[in-house]
Amino acid sequence: MLDKTKKDWWKSAVFYQVYPKSFQDTNNDGIGDLPGIIQHLDYLERLGIDGIWLSPVYASPQKDNGYDISDYRSINPQLGTMEDMDKLIGEAGKRGITIIMDLVLNHSSNEHQWFLEAKSSRTSSRHDYYIWRDGTPDTPPNDMRAAFGGPAWTYVPEIGQYYFHHFSPWQPDLNWENPVLRQELYDMIRFWVEKGVGGFRLDVIDVIGKIPDRKITDNGPHLHEYIRELRQKAFKEDTLVTVGEAWSARVDTAKLYAAADGSELSMVFQFEHLCLDTDGKWDPIGLPLVSLKKCYERWQQGLYGTGWNSLFLENHDLPRIVSRWGDDGQYRVESAKMLAAMTHGMQGTPYIYQGEELGMTNIELPIELYDDLEIKNMYAERTAAGYAPKDIMESIYARGRDNARTPMQWSGESHAGFSQAEPWLPVNPNYTEINVKAALDDPNSIFFFYQKLIALRKQYAVFRDGTFTLLNPEDEKCFAYTRDTEEEHLLVVCNFTEETLPEVLPETFRGAETLLSNYPEPSGALRPYETRMLYLRT
């Protein structure tokens, strides 16, 4: 077990993200709940993880599955009670598992008491907790758009003002310029710290310093002042782990969020490696492996000694990685392991998203069966704009957020053992083959591969401390890199194709120990999606 009284303990840790609604239902209403998480703590302990990032469990009208909070100090009754939450923290703690809560500080629900007061009158003491601008019904303050479609301004006729929402109209943005609001948030955070929560994941923290009048959302001029104040007033304990979600982060700004001096957050979730082949168009062609490798090199070297990164390929907003960069057919198991080794060999703190350790895959549903508001709004907007339904569906199949939100597959029993009732979102039909029970019965499963990766990170300091060197940067099929400290040397080789490639062992690694591979014996070549992790001491 890690010594969590050491202030950088999380540098050797591995976290696991639980999306409560989809993890385990215990009262058969089709919705996952807190007792369901408690029920599987032994499973998570067996995997070897040190902490759980829990997606929001607060009271919420669930317009965005809890990312719309109506009371930050209570638990959504659908998921359980405060007693269940206390029990989860306690039971997890007994197993060496720290609970990290999701903090949505950029916006609340429109049903939060603060917002109800704020919109009741311009003179309400809480009016200024949100962002208001004058206007008439047809003249919004400007043409900014919301991330989930439609305008970013919604009119409240009773007071003749618009409020700003970066996301949906049900998620009004909090006004961080107001020091009273900020203090209110810090007090709320202390409530959870005092309950024994070990840290926080900060939702869209890069936009809290927005200035809508200048159309600035990311990286507002006071952003880092706010984060430093948060650190001083709310995250007082040096051992708390804090991770900021920042889609806009680049290497230079990540050094601020995740500064080595601890003045802001422990680490950052940045997405550059996942945006290479999306509409961001850093590189528009397929999976640009060469760009991906250079992206990782830039981050691994750029933050070395100056900041700390997180390592992840999936979360509740992203498609399943084996469907995206691997092969979710014939080579599902091989490619899922390869992607895991590629990620876990690097410097940073790994996060595993529920089901990733099973190689769960994307899903294709008829449009009516999707739940996510982003998917629904996107479908409506593109339909209105004249896109062909087939093209819209293709893009939902590839990127839609519900790909990652289908219920956890525990067994081959009905509803995958997730629930006895019809789940809120369909189970992926491949649950009969891909499930926890099958994984635990098979010593060569993806689950046990992750278990080994987690153990290796604890065993060898090179995973935490080693420098990063990219080998053969221009090779379009194989991703190989080394990690080095004075005494320890690690080589990670990953074949990203279903072709057999020549082996690329650097001379120094001939005769090195194989720590891990996804094929039983080396063959002198790299088979489809083969990965090897070699180790030596000098």
- In the complex, the residues that contact ligand TEU under the rule CB under 6 A are 64, 67, 104, 147, 167, 203-204, 247, 316-317, 374, 401
Identify whether 203 is a catalytic site residue. yes
Classified as helix, coil or strand, 198 is coil
CA distance 526 to 497: 10
Is 29 a residue that touches Ca ion (CB under 5 A)?
yes
- 25 is in the binding site of which of Ca ion, ligand TEU, none (Cβ under 5 to 8 A by kind)? Ca ion
Query: Looking at beta carbons only, is 425 or 456 nearer to ligand TEU?
Result: 425
Q: Annotated catalytic residue: which of 203, 327, 328, 374?
A: 203
Query: Looking at beta carbons only, is 210 or 316 nearer to ligand TEU?
Result: 316
Minimum CB distance to ligand TEU, residue 424 (Å):
16
Could you tell me what percentage of the chain is helix, strand and coil, using 3-state DSSP and rounding each to the nearest 5?
A: 35, 20, 45
Tokens of residue 295, six digits: 């992206």
Query: Looking at beta carbons only, is 243 or 492 nearer to ligand TEU?
Result: 243
Is 84 a residue that touches Ca ion (CB under 5 A)?
no
| # of chain residues touching Ca ion (CB under 5 A) | 5
CA distance 63 to 482: 45
Minimum CB distance to ligand TEU, residue 382 (Å):
14
Identify whether 134 is a catalytic site residue. no
Q: What value, to the nearest 5°, has the Cα angle with vertex 182 and ends 180 and 187?
A: 95
Q: Which of 7, 8, 12, 27 binds Ca ion (CB under 5 A)?
A: 27
Is 25 a residue that touches Ca ion (CB under 5 A)?
yes
Query: Looking at beta carbons only, is 31 or 339 nearer to Ca ion?
Result: 31
Q: Where are the beta strands (DSSP E) in 279-330?
A: 310-311
- 380 is in the binding site of which of Ca ion, ligand TEU, none (Cβ under 5 to 8 A by kind)? none
Residue 356 CB coordination number (10 Å)? 25
Query: Looking at beta carbons only, is 206 or 530 nearer to ligand TEU?
Result: 206
- 29 is in the binding site of which of ligand TEU, Ca ion, none (Cβ under 5 to 8 A by kind)? Ca ion
The closest alpha carbon to 208, from 252, 151, 255, 248, belongs to 248
Is 408 a residue that touches Ca ion (CB under 5 A)?
no
Minimum CB distance to Ca ion, residue 358 (Å):
21
- 147 is in the binding site of which of ligand TEU, Ca ion, none (Cβ under 5 to 8 A by kind)? ligand TEU
- 431 is in the binding site of which of ligand TEU, Ca ion, none (Cβ under 5 to 8 A by kind)? none
In 121-222, alpha helices (H): 179-195
Collect all residues with Cβ–Cβ distance below 8 Å to 251 and sequence separation of at least 6: 298, 299, 302, 303
Tokens of residue 87, six digits: 């029990």
Tokens of residue 365, six digits: 């549903």
Minimum CB distance to ligand TEU, residue 68 (Å):
7
CA distance 131 to 124: 14
DSSP 168-181: -TTSPBB-TT-HHH
Is 33 a residue that touches Ca ion (CB under 5 A)?
yes
Query: Looking at beta carbons only, is 42 or 282 nearer to ligand TEU?
Result: 282
Q: What is the DSSP letter of 428?
A: P
Q: Where are the beta strands (DSSP E) in 169-266?
A: 199-202, 241-245
Is 31 a residue that touches Ca ion (CB under 5 A)?
yes
For the packed helices 223-233 and 179-195, what is the interaxial angle rounded to 10 degrees? Answer: 40
CA distance 93 to 275: 35
For the packed helices 82-94 and 179-195, what is the interaxial angle rounded to 10 degrees? Answer: 60
Minimum CB distance to ligand TEU, residue 172 (Å):
12
- 27 is in the binding site of which of ligand TEU, Ca ion, none (Cβ under 5 to 8 A by kind)? Ca ion
Minimum CB distance to ligand TEU, residue 538 (Å):
43
The helix/strand count (H/E) of the chain reads as 15, 20
Query: Looking at beta carbons only, is 33 or 277 nearer to Ca ion?
Result: 33
Tokens of residue 229, six digits: 């104040």
Q: Annotated catalytic residue: which of 68, 245, 272, 317?
A: 245
Minimum CB distance to ligand TEU, residue 103 (Å):
11
- 67 is in the binding site of which of Ca ion, ligand TEU, none (Cβ under 5 to 8 A by kind)? ligand TEU
Name the strand (E) or helix (H) holding 439. helix 436-441
Residue 368 CB coordination number (10 Å)? 6
Task: Select the residue whose beta carbon is closest to Ca ion and give its number.
Answer: 33
> What residues line the site for Ca ion (CB under 5 A)?
25, 27, 29, 31, 33
Indicate which residues carry an active-site annotation.
Answer: 203, 245
